[in-house]
Amino acid sequence: MPAYIKPQLLGASAHYRSMLALNPKTTEFLVLLLFLYIVKRCLFRYYGKGLPPGPPGYPIIGNIFDVPSERQWIAYRDISKRYCSDIIGIKLWGTPLIVVNSLEAANDLFRERSSNYSDRPRFTMVNELVGFTWNLGFMPYGNEWKENRKGFRQELNPRKVVHYRPSMISATEQLLRRLLDKPDDFMKHLRYMAGTTVLSIAYGIQVQPENDPFIEIAERANHALVCATNSGSYLVDQLPFLKYVPDWFPGAGFKRQAKEWCKDASAMPILAFDFVKDAMAKGDFVPSVASRYLENLAAEHPNESGSSCHRPEAEKLLSNVLATIYIAGADTTVSALASFILGLVKNPDAQRKGQLAVDELTGGERLPDFSDIESVPYIDALLREALRWNPVVPLGIPHKSIEDDVYNGYYIPGGTTIIANGWAMLHDEATYGPNPHLFNPDRFLKEDGTLDPNVPFPEPAFGFGKRTCSGRELGVASIWISIACILACFDVTKAVDEDGNVIEPSGEYTSGFLCYPLPFKCSIRPRSKRAEEMIRHAKEVDGTL
């Protein structure tokens, strides 16, 4: 602070006050103080009302320096520990942000008070510019969301998912053959497996072995979603009026980028759906969720000639639901299975135990199937650890409070963005034991090898309350059969370079809305000649509905 300002702040003499009044710099400073005071009164109206504890921050900008641009979930967890509070308050550009860091608080707010905490904040970049308004996860709470949610639950409830098992087995057997032929491309194979499963179930589409257009557009749309949702990447999310800036304006590169991403985001729910409609019109289609619903609509609303006359809003609802199933299912499945493979590389003992468990059941003479799902607790433990270790969405999708609320004496204003730090909950030593940063399936088991009921399933990986992912049953089933079959057929170990040196994977993950292991090398080889024979001669399962 300039020296000539300090005396005034301390109650200086008339001489100093006169000097200050004539000094242009002082006038500017006083105008700035007045501006800051007005902003504080207008924007910081929540302060002083008992918000959850957190770092004090700076005027206007708040705590932007307390939250790093990467791996924010760790910073939020550390702040929570520092202030000994399950929920903390962060201030960003005059707007309060509440972060929930414990499972107890998350259940209290998102489940017990779900009617107040099921809304979403405004997603300017993702929804309004890129065009993911069809994605159920980003829809605001309301009638449209309820209708989409209803359709989602009708198709992905546990009773329905059982009927989709043939599609999952078929996709898994394709995955095994791909891993056998080109093991180094395992991440690509995982994406193809996830895409094959959902495209078959949702649309009856049999994907091409390479360069499938439906797989490719979904991958591009997923990339757009990942980039557009990265926290703090786009100022337009903090200042929505910037979306009206002309594309040619300096600094408006985000708008030009959004237009490119919008092409794939908008096309994703349309292309596959139109493919099914065209196939049905020709009478040459594979039964699927889409074809079944379209047939029902045609029966309910025929026109005078007897041909189909579907309600446009019903078709739009169906196309939205199917596209959301695809993009959501692929995220969780690919990330969890990538974590599983990385976990085997990091913990060979876990692989040995898993292989012994599978061999004890199958005798090494067949591939596991869904009839084994209740018989191998260690596979369940591996699945749970893959979901817990590094969750695909560490901070979930933000919630928004609808009305003012008070929780544990803390004031939560209506319209506040609330983040559930699922990563912190899944790394809580009180719940999951010591060294939560390590991949250790044994944390879910009792000494006798059965699942420990006192160690909960990693629910935070799928969200909370009414916003819990409706595709959980499908995702878990697909991950389970893939884990069981990979263990039955392959040894997954550390790779070796040309000089015979072991390549140690870093174990690092991408940092953003969705998280995947950074590219790593490993060795994936068939366990035996018999394992290779099982893969080569696996019966092709009809994956249609």
Which residues belong to the annotated binding site?
469
Cβ burial, residue 502 (10 Å; 0-12/13-18/19+): exposed
Short-list 151, 157, 125, 156, CA closest to 138: 125
Q: Which residues are annotated as a binding site for heme?
A: 469
Where in 78-127 does DSSP place strands (E)?
87-92, 95-100
- Residue 14's identity, in one-letter code, is A
C-beta of residue 490 within 8 angstroms of C-beta of residue 526: yes
3-class secondary-structure state, position 437: coil
- Closest-CA residue to 67 (of 101, 90, 88, 85): 90
Strand partners, 491: 525
Residue pair 310/473 in contact (Cβ under 8 Å)? The answer is no
Give CA–CA dist 351/441, Å, rounded.
Answer: 10
Which residue bears the tokens 């169906």? 318
134 to 131, 147, 223, 291: CA distances (angstroms) = 8, 12, 16, 20
| Beta strands 417-420; 490-494: pairing state | unpaired
Q: How far is CA 357 from the centre of its chain?
A: 31
Widest CA span in the chain:
98
Token pair of 246, please?
Answer: 């002309």
The answer to whether residues 46 and 411 touch, using CB atoms and an 8 Å cutoff, is yes
Residues 271, 278: Cα–Cα separation, whole Å:
11
Which residue(s) pair with 399 in the sheet? 418
99 SS3 class: strand
Give CA–CA dist 533/367, Å, rounded.
11
CA dist., res. 383 & res. 482, Å (int): 10
Tokens 């590094």 sit on residue: 390
Inter-residue contact 224 to 261 (CB < 8 Å): yes
Q: Which residues contact 339 (CB under 8 A, 6 or more apart)?
A: 386, 387, 389, 390, 439, 517
